[in-house]
Amino acid sequence: MRYGSNPEMYLNELAQDLRPLDEGVAWFASLPEEEQTRTLRLLAGFCFQAHPTAEEAAESIRRSGLRPTHTPAVMLVRGRIEHQVGAVAGLTPQHERMKGFRLLIALLAIADGRRREKCRAVGCGHDWHRLTADREAGTGRRSGGDGAGDQGGSGSDGRPDGTGVATGGADDRLR
């Protein structure tokens, strides 16, 4: 179960409940440590771009199934959320990375869900905000059921991988 060719789309599918979280957790657990670190940083970047609120951070703890006393949960609600998301992504013990993954997926689901709703109201060109609509219309971009995007050519934002998703940084235009 490898999604190396398009982890950006896979993470968005997890956050939008288009794939079961248990599947995502198993995928994340199967990654080598350095890929887990890259994945957490990518996920933190997505969360950062979604501009989560303190209320969304608290809700993400509940939704992730973590106890409020778990390290990533404590970290997320202490201090400025923008800094704390990165700190959660930087956790090193395996068990803490697993908790961090669950928490950041939940945070992305909530914060980006708010942004998707806003985009629907004003119009949106982000491919990852149309995953649910594409799937409902039968025009989903998945190929072979492996989670990799099959968008060919260039995406609406000119990215050759067609994801429309940055692989790092906090360029708000991308989320």
Asked if pLDDT for residue 160 goes beyond 70, the answer is no
Phi/psi at 162 (5° precision): 75, 5
Q: What's the confidence (pLDDT) of residue 175?
A: 37
Please, which residues have CB within 8 angstroms of residue 134's CB and are 6 or more apart in sequence? 140, 141
Cα separation, 149 vs 24, whole angstroms: 16
CB 15 within 8 A of CB 109: yes
* pLDDT tens figures, 73-119: 999 999 899 899 999 999 999 999 999 999 999 999 999 999 888 77
* Mean pLDDT for the stretch of residues 120-141: 51
pLDDT computed for residue 107 by the predictor: 98
pTM (predicted TM-score): 0.70
67 pLDDT more than 50:
yes
pLDDT mean across residues, the chain: 76
Q: What is the pLDDT of residue 21?
A: 95
pLDDT at 66: 97
